[in-house]
Amino acid sequence: MQKLILDLDTGVDDALAISYALGSPEVDLIGITGTYGNVLLDQGVRNALAITDLMGHPEVKVYKGLPHSSTADSFEVLPVSAFIHGENGIGDAVIPDSNREPESEPAVDFIIDAVKTYGKDLTYVPTGPMTNIAAALKKAPEIKDEIGKIVLMGGALTVCGNVNAWEEANISQDPDAANELFRSGAPVTMVGLDVTLQTLLTYKETARWRNLGTQAGTFLADMTDFYIKAYETTSPHLGGCGLHDPLAVGVAVDPTLVTCLPINMQVETEGPTRGRTIGDNTRLNDPHKTMQVAIGVDVPRFLDEFMTRITRLAEQ
């Protein structure tokens, strides 16, 4: 089984990513590491504990990561995040709090230990700011050669950003950390807005979860309907909500879901376009390719996998 770590700022699509991983028989989710972004670190950790409980997997351990980027002293949730993900990050859906606590080991140490234990069998999937993995690479640079693969949700190469014309939200929260990861030489696949805005979910699919009549199904439907409603306001042309974070899990499990461009990538860390993935075109033809960027996705096959796995999990 594939050993997987999810690094989450547990908002709505992060919660769907947890469900996708738990519903995938090929995956052994060995831990969730918390980050900040859609919500504050502590709220995201609480959400991850509560969701793993609700989905019938209280054995999944949750670790606290760093509360803000290395260039800031603190972090505040953007008003737009509360509009898209709800005040509590999970579409203001109400689920029982977990009576578990996060592990005492810091997330950064857990990531390093997991690489040492599982090596090439380990896949790490960050779907929030890349702060934790950048700190792990700083503390133990050798893990870049030891880890199996890193499949991140973030960035935009062929399309505009979602924070502004050039910045995607996860990269925007900590461009320096993302750039350190991109330049580290670790085996990285970027699953950005290029593909995640093609994989859309609608009320038709959430109704299937609601009709299951289970607590998990009702939660998934309530939470995701909130998210779809926000997308109707912010991006009415799309006709659904983007399955950003679940697609990164999908690609981690089955890389054939996407077609990739090998490229020498970088994040702009200076100037007016700070946070942009690939700041200029001089690297496009660079023979030294540093990572894979997903630029095409088999939408019907992914949506089928997504619905099958999550519905199977939620019907129990």
Q: Which stretches of the chain bind ligand BDR, using CB under 6 A?
A: 11, 13-14, 38, 127-128, 153, 162, 168-170, 244-245
174, interface contact from ligand BDR, Ca ion, none, CB < 5-8 Å by kind: none
Contact, 39 vs 81, CB < 8 A? yes
One of 128, 154, 155, 242 touching Ca ion (CB under 5 A): 128
Confirm or reject binding of residue 127 to Ca ion (CB under 5 A): yes
Confirm or reject binding of residue 242 to Ca ion (CB under 5 A): no
- Tell me whether residue 244 is one of the annotated catalytic residues: yes
- Tell me whether residue 237 is one of the annotated catalytic residues: no
Considering CB under 5 A, how many residues would be counted as binding Ca ion?
A: 5
132, interface contact from ligand BDR, Ca ion, none, CB < 5-8 Å by kind: none
Residues 12-41 contacting Ca ion, CB under 5 A = 14
Q: How far is the CB of 146 from ligand BDR (least distance, A)?
A: 26
Angle at 58 between CA 249 and CA 16, to 5 degrees: 30
Distance CA 256, CA 241 (A): 23
Q: How far is the CB of 270 from Ca ion (least distance, A)?
A: 25
Q: How far is the CB of 193 from ligand BDR (least distance, A)?
A: 6
47, interface contact from Ca ion, ligand BDR, none, CB < 5-8 Å by kind: none
Q: How far is the CB of 145 from Ca ion (least distance, A)?
A: 27
Confirm or reject binding of residue 81 to Ca ion (CB under 5 A): no
Q: Which residues are catalytic?
A: 9, 244
